[in-house]
């Protein structure tokens, strides 16, 4: 009887541990971010936690500074951009984001701020 109880207990603990360490829920979104060269902003498809909150701040008219290079002394050079579109969901849902309507990965989503 003890062997059966032990086997059931081990099975229950294993299932509990598996559930606890299971992959967290992810949502696919289009994120409006700087290009690698920093010369613009484009939509990139990424997966984020379904509990992510920061992307709801990435809306049209919000600004970001993109790293565009380095000075001879090693200091960083940034160019400011204003977003022309919001981050949006490709699949799943994320509080504060709407489903992508017309945006696709690679589309430009920001404009340089001329000072």
Whether 5 maps to a domain, the answer reads no
Q: Is the pLDDT higher at 23 or at 96?
A: 96
For every residue of 65-93, DSSP letters joined together read EEEEEE-TTS-EEEEEEEESS--EEEES-
End-to-end CA distance of the chain: 80
pLDDT digits (tens, 9 = 90+) for 102-114: 899 999 999 999 8
H-helix or E-strand containing 47? strand 41-49
| 91: containing domain | 24-112
On whether residue 11 sits in a domain, the answer given is: no
CA distance 82 to 63: 4
Pick 50 or 109 by higher pLDDT: 109
Question: Is residue 52 assigned to a domain?
Answer: yes
Number of domains forming the structure of the chain: 1
- Diameter over CA atoms, the chain: 80
Q: Are 97 and 51 in contact (CB under 8 A)?
A: no
What was the pLDDT predicted at 63? 94
């Amino acid at each position: 009887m003890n062997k059966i109880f032990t086997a059931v207990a081990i099975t229950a603990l294993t299932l509990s541990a598996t559930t606890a360490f299971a992959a967290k829920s992810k949502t696919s979104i289009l994120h409006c971010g700087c290009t690698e060269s920093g010369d613009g902003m484009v939509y990139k498809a990424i997966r984020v936690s379904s509990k992510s909150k920061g992307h709801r701040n990435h809306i049209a008219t919000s600004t970001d500074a993109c790293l565009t290079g380095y000075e001879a002394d090693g200091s960083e050079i940034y160019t400011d951009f204003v977003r022309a579109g919001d981050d949006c969901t490709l699949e799943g849902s994320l509080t504060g984001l709407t489903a992508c309507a017309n945006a696709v990965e690679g589309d430009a989503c920001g404009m340089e701020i001329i000072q």
